[in-house]
Amino acid sequence: MTDTAGAKGTTDGRPSYVKMSIYGFALDSIAQMPVVILKDADEESTLPLWLNSTDALYMVAELIRNDASAKSDRKDLLAALLDYLGTEVAEIAIDDMKDGLVTASVNLELGGEMVKLGVRTSEALVLALKHSLPVMVASCLLENSPVVSDEPEGRFTKLDERRFVDFLENLDPADLGKYPM
């Protein structure tokens, strides 16, 4: 994948990508939905990704579990599987948006060959955090993304952080379906 911000695609027809990192988490006070904020290295481009409550809860649970397992010798299933296969996560990508849903992928290097796996956006973001990897974002998504202000009055406040915590604390497991916790 290329690391170019301005182009609509490469000469071979593939989209170009911009290297971004996870800048933070917030709660959209209008939509009342969790948002992950991605920014490029120069902090010129910003991409907000809205998550549903299930994905937000998944991310929180995975990060807490990852923190807890870091204190022990045990690896999670994916880390153990990657070690066993002799592969590692090469790249995390946010590829496209179809019908309002963001598509993501994880690229693994396996036996000198790149293997691209389609995953949920929340899974891709958790892997980026766990493996300290940048997130490659298709430049076409940045062209159509809402603008997030860098002015002090446009930034997320402590109240927004509190709303997100309240949202998670008041989340009813019955709303998530029949998945055991």
Q: How confident is the model at residue 7 (pLDDT cuts 50, 70, 90)?
A: very low
Tell me the C-alpha to C-alpha distance, in Å, between residue 87 and each of 54, 70, 79, 84, 164.
29, 20, 10, 8, 36
> How far apart (Å, rounded) are the C-alpha atoms in residues 75 and 4?
35
CATH of 17-173, one of 3.60.15.10, 3.40.1010.20, 3.30.390.30, 3.10.690.10: 3.10.690.10
pLDDT tens-digit series, residues 96-154: 888 778 899 999 988 889 999 999 999 999 989 888 899 999 988 888 766 555 555 55
Mean pLDDT of the chain: 79
Sequence ranges of the domains in the chain: 17-173
Strands (E), 29-76: 33-40, 46-50
> How far apart (Å, rounded) are the C-alpha atoms in residues 108 and 59?
21
Structure tokens at 21: 């990192």
pTM for this predicted structure: 0.68
